[in-house]
Amino acid sequence: MLHTINKAPHVHDCFDACLRVCGTNTAIVLIEDGVYAAIADSAAAQRLCAQNKAIFALQPDIDARGLTNRIDPRIQTIDYSGFVQLCCEHETIQSWY
């Protein structure tokens, strides 16, 4: 299952809700304000990377927010076509917003 999160972790409970219920065979894509969860050394990024799941973040949203060089190296950045590909690879998509 593919999960998308589009809110920052300290602003909204999307992040906590997703991590609470998402299963093991899961990919998480951080989009829009969700990319704030990918900041290197932040508590949110540590929690995400401890999940042993595939974690992605959308590069245009990272760049727009001035976070280009601040992303946790364990989180893979993708462009829009990579996002589309992930959506096609997963049977079910859960949007946390």
Partner 1 sequence: MNQKRILIVYRHPPYGESFAREALDVAMAGAAFDQSVALLFLGAGVTVLTANQQSEGIQEKSLEKQFAALPLYDVNELYVDADALRQYRLSNADLSLSVKALDTNAITQLLERSDIVLNF
Which positions lie near partner 1, rule CB under 8 A?
Answer: 6-8, 10-11, 32-33, 36, 39-43, 59-61, 63-68, 70
| Least spacing, CB of residue 33 vs partner 1, in Å | 4
Element (H, E) at 20: helix 14-21
Residue 1 or 79: the one with the smaller Cβ distance to partner 1 is 79
Give the integer Cα–Cα distance in Å for 97 and 85: 21
| Least spacing, CB of residue 78 vs partner 1, in Å | 12
Reading the block at residue 49, the tokens are 């990377």
Residue 28 or 61: the one with the smaller Cβ distance to partner 1 is 61
| Least spacing, CB of residue 95 vs partner 1, in Å | 14
Residue 79 or 93: the one with the smaller Cβ distance to partner 1 is 79
Residue 1 or 63: the one with the smaller Cβ distance to partner 1 is 63
Query: How many other CB atoms sit within 10 Å of the CB of residue 95?
Result: 13
- Label residues 18-51 b or e (16+ Cβ within 10 Å = b): bbeebeeebbbbbbbbbbbbbbeebebbeebeee
